[in-house]
Chain A
Amino acid sequence: MFEAILIAGFGGQGVLSTGQLLAQAGMEEGRHVAWIPSYGPEMRGGTANCGVTISSRPISSPVVSEPTVLIAMNRPSLEKFEHSVVQGGIIFVNSSLIDIRAGRKDVRVFYVPANELAEELGSGKVANNVILGALIELTGVVTPGAVEKSLREVLPPHHHKMIPLNLKALEVGAGLVRGDGPAAAGAG
């Protein structure tokens, strides 16, 4: 079992903490995990990304240069990293903010209107978790139970009241790819 997940977006979208949540959940399940942020010189409001590796074996380099899964939260991220995804990999496109289609034909692409779905749930802040829910459902890289437990670890206590909303977002995302949710994800 090996997944190298690249989560990319702009600063403030919560891509680093989403990655941390995923890494924490992997650790809860006894996997080898590594998380690494991009730390190049960036301007305020610029791009941010992190790589999360979850594996049944020790992790060599934590740098995710050939992701098995790409979560593109904004258009520059899709344009920058689309080519790096391994053949047969998965790309999640946040279609709320990305108005182009992915060009790759040798990967699975899922278009998820994450911000809209999150707003419908009550807060745009859980947009990442809509996609995370879809990712977990598709890959089984971690269990929903481990994510729920990890939310308590990763979120500061004063944000624990947000946990039910986060769980709802995960469930909506999972429903999308199962095809029983309110709006099935457009696969292309």
Chain B
Amino acid sequence: MAKILMKGNEAIGEGAVRAGCRYFFGYPITPQSELPHYLAKRLPEVGGLYLQAESEVASINMVFGAAGAGARVMTSSSGPGISLMQEGISYLAGAELPCVIVNMIRGGPGLGNIAPAQSDYFQATRGGGHGDYRVLVLAPASVQEIIDLMKDAFDLADKYRNPVMLIGDGVLGQMMEPVELDEEVKPVVLPEKSWAATGRMGRDKKNLINSLYIVPENCEAHNLELARKYGTMAEKEQRWEDYHTEGAELVLVAFGTAARVCKAVVDMFREEGRPVGLLRPITLWPFPAKRVAALAGTARHFLTVEMSMGQMVEDVRLAVNGRRPVYFYGRAGGMIPVARDVYREAGKILTGGADS
């Protein structure tokens, strides 16, 4: 194991290569352009293919093609580009194709800016495109976790034959942190994909990659089958990190960069002996509702902290189900919450002076 300094965007690329991904199709956009830059050099070294498409629409459809052929494939972008990809993501989900999509979120809506944000939470967790579908959404909070989760992202995509989205923000993409990396890239044994369209190979039946179900009865059956799959994912794949939640009177809920700030806030309170903890969702869909519901039995209040005007807070409220007040604090448009300000908000709640 070597410990090296690595940029978040480059870590996504290296993590993908080590997960066996050999195809990248994308179109540049700040704040994730170091990722395609990195893979443009790295993928040919391992016999892979990097291709800059003419647009995000083209990129996601190239991903569709490669995924249909059974390849480990990915694309990446930021908010505006991910919006352009939504039709393709819906098709990927409909055709049950595994792939990894990275969104390094920037300030929005519209052209917004290139500063870090978390305001694409709804887009990521509610489907984003048309139709009744879900993508599994992973939210790392450090460069090391990016590397670790990239492997899981591809494995989960294959396991469920479903798109997996990894979301970060400008801070996670641009920052450098130490990461532990194996000195050599180990070969990855990919799962067999008997459904992939790779030629008939003597089978009786041809494999078809399709999301068209023209007969309503058939389309409903397809939707029921997808819903069963999403139900399994929701049951089995919820992930989170507990940080001093045991005995916490106030539980902060935050992911990604906002969770890093909240950890500092928890430390400030714990140094004063005050019972504040942090629940950090690692999967945003499925949202760790089980853990939030359990904490609603012990904590007295929740404070959701986001780099948006309040999106994940809705999932926290759904999971708490009215049993406890759920407060919100957010910064938007590319601003990052400051620990001192979150500390002040949390302090108000602890002393009974805040409105939920």
> Which residues of the partner chain B approach A65 to less than 8 Å between Cβ atoms?
338
* CB of A165 closer than 8 Å to a CB of B: no
- Check A61/B178 contact, CB under 8 A, given A39-B170, A41-B114: no
Q: Contact: A61 with B5, CB < 8 Å? A: no
CB closest residue in chain A, given B33: A39
Contact A36-B175, Cβ < 8 Å, known A60-B263, A60-B264, A60-B339: yes
**CB-based nearest A residue for B143:** A34
Verify A62–B178 contact, CB threshold 8 A: no
| A61–B114 CB distance below 8 A | no
Select one of A20, A58, A59, A60 contacting B5, CB under 8 A.
Answer: A20
B171 touching A63 by the CB < 8 A rule?
A: yes
- Residues of A contacting B61 with CB < 8 Å? none
Is A20 a contact of B257 with CB atoms below 8 Å?
no
Which of A34, A58, A59 has the most B CB atoms < 10 Å from its CB?
A34
B260 within 8 A of A: yes
CA A40 to CA B339, docked complex, whole Å = 23
Check if A34 sits within 8 Å of B263, measured CB to CB: no
Chain B residues near A41 (CB, 8 Å)?
A: 114
In the bound assembly, the distance between CA atoms of A39 and B29 in angstroms comes to 12
For B173, the closest partner residue in chain A by CB is A39
Counting CB contacts under 8 A, is A4 at the interface?
no
Tell me what chain B mostly uses at the interface: helix, strand, loop, or mixed: mixed
Residues on A with C-beta less than 8 A from B206 are none
Does chain B have a CB within 8 A of A24?
A: yes
Residue A33 at the chain B interface, CB threshold 8 Å: yes
Whole-angstrom CA separation of A48 from B336 in the bound complex: 20
Q: Mark B227-263, 1 if CB is under 8 A from A, else 0.
A: 0000000000000000000000000000001001101
Cα separation A33 to B175 with both chains bound (whole Å): 10
Are the CB atoms of A61 and B339 closer together than 8 Å? yes
**Does A37 have its Cβ within 8 Å of any Cβ on chain B?**
yes
Shortest distance in angstroms between B179's beta carbon and chain A's nearest beta carbon?
Answer: 10
Type the 1/0 row for B159-176, where 1 means its CB is closer than 8 Å to any CB of A.
Answer: 000000000001100111
Residue B87 at the chain A interface, CB threshold 8 Å: no
A35 at the interface (CB under 8 A from B): yes
Asked if A177 CB lies within 8 Å of chain B CBs, one says no
Residue in chain A with minimal CB distance to B340? A66
A180 to chain B, nearest CB (A): 33
A33 is contacted by which of B5, B264, B267, B339 (Cβ under 8 Å)? Answer: B5
Which residues of chain B from 188 to 236 have a CB within 8 Å of any chain A CB? none
Q: How far is the CA of A41 from the CA of B334 in the complex (A)?
A: 14
Instruction: Determine whether the beta carbon of A34 is less than 8 Å from that of B114.
Output: no
Would you call A27 and B178 a contact (CB within 8 A)?
Answer: yes
Closest approach, in angstroms, between the C-beta of A87 and any C-beta of chain B?
14
**Which B residues are CB-close (under 8 A) to A63?**
171, 336
Query: Assuming the A-B contacts A23-B5, A62-B171, are A39 and B261 also in contact, with contact meaning beta carbons closer than 8 angstroms in the complex?
Result: no
Are the C-beta atoms of A60 and B261 separated by less than 8 Å?
yes
- CB of A27 within 8 A of CB of B339, answer no
Q: How far is the CB of A51 from chain B (nearest CB, A)?
A: 9
B-facing residues in A10-48 (Cβ within 8 Å): 20, 23-24, 27, 33-37, 39-41
Given A20-B5, A61-B261: A39 touches B30 (CB 8 Å cut-off):
yes
Q: Inside 8 A of B336's CB, which chain A residues have their CB?
A: 61, 63
Q: Is B177 interfacial (CB-CB < 8 Å)?
A: yes
Query: What's the minimum C-beta distance from A84 to chain B, rounded to whole angstroms?
Result: 13
Name the B residues within 8 Å of A35 (CB-CB). Answer: 5, 175-177
Q: Given known contacts A27-B3, A33-B178, is B114 in contact with A40 (CB within 8 Å)? A: yes
A53 to B190, CA, bound (A): 39
- Contact across chains for B176 and A39 when beta carbons are under 8 A apart: no
Bound Cα distance A24, B176 (Å)? 10
With the chains together, A57 CA to B268 CA distance in Å?
Answer: 13
Residues of chain B lying within 8 A (CB to CB) of residue A59: 177, 260
Contact, CB under 8 Å: A61 / B177: no
Chain B residue at smallest Cβ distance from A36:
B175
Q: Determine the residue in chain B with the shortest Cβ distance to A57.
A: B267
Q: Would you list which residues of chain B between 109 and 154 have a CB under 8 Å from chain A?
A: 114-115
- Other contacts beyond A36-B175, A39-B114: 15, CB < 8 A: A20-B5, A34-B175, A36-B171, A39-B31, A39-B174, A41-B114, A59-B177, A60-B260, A60-B263, A60-B339, A61-B171, A61-B336, A61-B339, A63-B336, A65-B338
Q: Name B's A-contacting residues (CB within 8 A).
A: 3, 5, 30-31, 114-115, 170-171, 174-178, 257, 260-261, 263-264, 267, 336, 338-339
A-B contact pairs, 11 of them (CB 8 A): A20-B5, A23-B176, A36-B175, A36-B176, A39-B30, A39-B174, A40-B114, A60-B263, A60-B339, A62-B177, A65-B338
Chain A contact residues, CB within 8 Å of chain B = 20, 23-24, 27, 33-37, 39-41, 57-63, 65
